[in-house]
Structure 1
Amino acid sequence: MIRIEDEGALRRITIARPDKANSLTGTMLGRLAQSVEDWSGSALVLSGEGRVFSAGADLDEVQAGTLATHPGWERLSGAIAAFPGLSVAALNGTAAGGALGMILACDLRLAVPGAAIFYPVMKMGVLPQPSDPARLAALVGPSRAALLLMAGVRVEAAEALAWGLIDRIVEPEALDETAVALCAPSLKAGATRVAEIRSMIRD
């Protein structure tokens, strides 16, 4: 359910569970985190298979009471945030709930025109993952973070672009090519130089 493809110093990680809207189980969270933690290349692209990036947590595991507070969410977003290369989230469709953590931790975010972003923690009666609110507010400001987290607003791609929540809107047929093209300079420069520049931006 997690597909990993390495092309030189680029790793592509794809959530491949389209029959379940790419919803994430605890096992999948661990696999995703490990695939980031063990990568020493210069760039990373995260995407989904089908028409949805990820619907967030697998509802069966949520109802079983084992997933909403699973440490795998923080492990995954922390691994992406700590990755010293360039990380790109290529949203092939809507991203919801806990799946936002990995997107917020990336350096760049692309989305297709039909993508939407929402984080229904109020509706579900749970807290967001601990690091998500601060990363969200750093991107869009506290008021817009409140719109997503507290008012439960669903943000369509065009509005997300205006907010700075995503960086570009890309047609579906060009999404993969665009994500790889954005990684090209980092792949050419090499992991050490990429890490140095990323540290200057992040720190």
Structure 2
Amino acid sequence: MIELTKDGDLWVARINRPDKANSLTHAMLSELADIAEAARDARVFVLTGEGKVFSAGADLDEARAGLATSDVWERLSGNIAALPGLSIAALNGTLAGGAMGMALACDLRIAVPSAKFFYPVMKLGFLPQPSDPGRLRDLVGPARAKLMLMGGQKLLADEALRFGLIDRIVEPDALMDTVRDLAADTLAARPDIATGIKAMCQG
């Protein structure tokens, strides 16, 4: 249910469980975390999904059995955040719940116009994963982070763009072409220059 394709130094990990809104099991999250760790060898790492939803978050049955509070979410987002190359979340649709963490850990987030964004963790009686609120705050500011995490508000794509949660909105048929365009300069650059610029941007 996780598909990995490699085109030279461009790696694309695709969540392929559209019949379940790309909800994530522990096995899927572990596989994604392993892929993200191995992607240190890639120049550009892309996360996307199959169908009209990027991910609805945790598989409901596994969430009830403890997945909602598993440290595998933090392992995945930490591995993505640690990548020396460019990481891009190509959001083919709605992003919900714990799945938000992997997108927040990416350098760039590109979304289709129909995408919606929400993180109803408080309503479900859980704390978010440790790094997610800080990354969300850094993108949208503390008040808007509270709007989502405490106010339970769902953002539409245009509002998410205004807030800084995503960086661009593109039509579905142009999503991967846009990703490749964004990746082109990094793929063409000398590796030490590309990684050096990323480090400088992160401070």
Task: Tell me the TM-score normalised to structure 1 length.
Answer: 0.98
Query: What is the CA-CA distance between 1:192 and the residue it aligns to?
Result: 2.4
Listed one character per residue, the Cα deviations across residues 78-118 of structure 1 (whole Å, up to 9, x for unaligned) are: 00100000001010000000000000000000000000000
Listed one character per residue, the Cα deviations across residues 138-170 of structure 1 (whole Å, up to 9, x for unaligned) are: 000000000000000000000000000000000
Listed one character per residue, the Cα deviations across residues 20-78 of structure 1 (whole Å, up to 9, x for unaligned) are: 100011111110011111121110111000000000001000112x2011111000000
| Residue of structure 1 equivalent to 2:184 | 184
Counterparts of 1:117 and 1:165, CA distance in 2? 9
Letter paired with 1:48: G
Counterparts of 1:112 and 1:26, CA distance in 2? 27
Query: What is the CA-CA distance between 1:195 and the residue it aligns to?
Result: 1.1
The count of corresponding residues between Structure 1 and Structure 2 is: 202
Counterparts of 1:41 and 1:158, CA distance in 2? 31
| Residue of structure 2 equivalent to 1:52 | 53
> For the Cα contact (< 8 Å) 1:14–1:48, is it kept in 2?
yes
Q: Is the aligned partner of 1:7 residue 2:19?
A: no
Over the aligned positions, Cα root-mean-square deviation in angstroms equals: 0.7
Letter paired with 2:54: F
Letter paired with 2:95: A
| Residue of structure 2 equivalent to 1:169 | 169
| Residue of structure 2 equivalent to 1:148 | 148
Counterparts of 2:190 and 2:121, CA distance in 1? 39
Show the 5 A alignment for 1:1-203: 1-39=1-39, 40-64=41-65, 66-203=66-203
Letter paired with 1:186: T
> For the Cα contact (< 8 Å) 1:95–1:116, is it kept in 2?
yes
Secondary structure, aligned partner of 1:68: helix
Counterparts of 2:124 and 2:70, CA distance in 1? 16
Counterparts of 1:23 and 1:62, CA distance in 2? 10
> For the Cα contact (< 8 Å) 1:42–1:190, is it kept in 2?
no
> For the Cα contact (< 8 Å) 1:133–1:145, is it kept in 2?
yes
Return 5+ residue gaps in structure 2 as ranges: none
Secondary structure, aligned partner of 1:121: coil
Return 5+ residue gaps in structure 1 as ranges: none
Secondary structure, aligned partner of 1:113: coil
